[in-house]
Amino acid sequence: MHSDRAPLALKIAAAAGLAFMHLPILLIFVYAFTTEDKSYQWPPPGFTTKWIGVTWERPDVWEALSLSLKVAAISTGIALVLGTLCAAAVSRTRFFGREVVSLLVILPIALPGIITGISLRSAFHLADIPFSFWTIVLGHATFCVVVVYNNAVARFRRTSGSLIEASMDLGADGFQTFRYVILPNIATALLAGGMLAFALSFDEVIVTTFTAGQQQTLPIWMLEELVRPRERPVTNVVAMMVALVTLLPILGAYYLTRGTDTVAGQGK
């Protein structure tokens, strides 16, 4: 019998790896409260909540935030529809070319973001489409589809086909079956996929730089600050805010799919 105790070296390596993944982000939360405003001095000479107030008063931050939220909300909506349709089609039947569909959905995220970005930019240029809110949404929705698709496909796979047959057998037509059986069974997966898509869109910077024109989403605003720092403390606070805003949907998605798709393979 193997022992269920891990070797010490393994424990240390695993713990060190996890620490490496988490400590840097925690640092963001410390810096958001530092009194130092000219450099990234460590340890911080003192702590203050003053910069949160300063950030609160900044109209450019508010504008960027509201644009990011709007883009994320609409892109998520589009991705939910397209991703669910794709997942339903792929899981419903074995049809010719379903592999192609899977590949097509994954491609925008499998290829480096810069390629997606520059492709869209040159396509807008060729088609004489001016940059706008909608060009940003178009790019975001394209790579958000895959997140919804992955979540939905996993859930469709677990929802056995005989449930749909059982519903039809008991007198429900296609639409009633969707309303009373399919939707309740995939709802949490869709919600989880939608939340992740939202987080992905809210955070996206690479594709956005190519599709945004003059408008600034919050990540674009941050990127500007990173390349040419103007007011470091405000950037620190915005970084913390972004970390928090993306954290919530991730945790939400985790709790929604807990014990179903995600921790698969447990309890074998």
User: Binding segment for another protein among 49-57, 58-66, 69-77, 180-188 (CB under 8 A)?
Assistant: 180-188
Largest Cα–Cα distance of the chain, in whole Å? 72
Quick one: which of 56, 66, 134, 184 contacts another protein (CB under 8 A)? Answer: 184
- What's the first-to-final CA gap in the chain, in angstroms? 18
Residues in 80-139 that interact with another protein by CB under 8 A: 81-83, 85-86, 88-89, 92-93, 95, 101, 104-105, 107-108, 110-116, 118-123, 126, 138
User: Binding segment for another protein among 47-55, 56-64, 69-77, 258-266 (CB under 8 A)?
Assistant: 258-266
The values of phi and psi at residue 47, to 5°, are: -120, 145
Q: Quote the CA–CA distance of 147 and 70 in Å, as a whole number.
A: 19
| The residue to which tokens 């509201």 are assigned | 66
Q: Quote the CA–CA distance of 81 and 10 in Å, as a whole number.
A: 44
Q: What is the closest distance, in whole angstroms, from the C-beta atom of residue 136 to another protein in the complex?
A: 14
Q: What is the closest distance, in whole angstroms, from the C-beta atom of residue 268 to another protein in the complex?
A: 8
Binding pattern to another protein, positions 21-50, x when CB under 8 A? xx-xx-xx--x-------xxxxx-------
205 and 220 in contact (C-beta within 8 Å)? yes
Q: Is 34 helix (H, G, I), strand (E, B) or coil?
A: strand
Interaction between residue 13 and another protein (CB under 8 A): yes
Nearest C-alpha neighbor of 82 from the set 180, 194, 199, 176: 194
Number of residues interacting with another protein: please give it, by CB under 8 A.
103
Interaction between residue 69 and another protein (CB under 8 A): no
Interaction between residue 67 and another protein (CB under 8 A): no
CA 157, 203, 79: angle at the middle one, nearest 5? 40
The values of phi and psi at residue 42, to 5°, are: -125, 140
Interaction between residue 190 and another protein (CB under 8 A): no
Nearest C-alpha neighbor of 57 from the set 216, 231, 196, 263: 231
Asked whether the CA dihedral 209, 212, 216, 219 is positive or negative, the reply is negative
Q: What is the closest distance, in whole angstroms, from the C-beta atom of residue 49 to another protein in the complex?
A: 19
Interaction between residue 52 and another protein (CB under 8 A): no
Q: What is the closest distance, in whole angstroms, from the C-beta atom of residue 132 to another protein in the complex?
A: 15
Residues in 193-252 that interact with another protein by CB under 8 A: 196, 199-200, 203, 205-206, 219, 222-223, 226-227, 235, 239, 242-243, 246-247, 250-251
- Of 29 and 56, the one with the shorter C-beta distance to another protein is 29
Q: What is the closest distance, in whole angstroms, from the C-beta atom of residue 161 to another protein in the complex?
A: 9
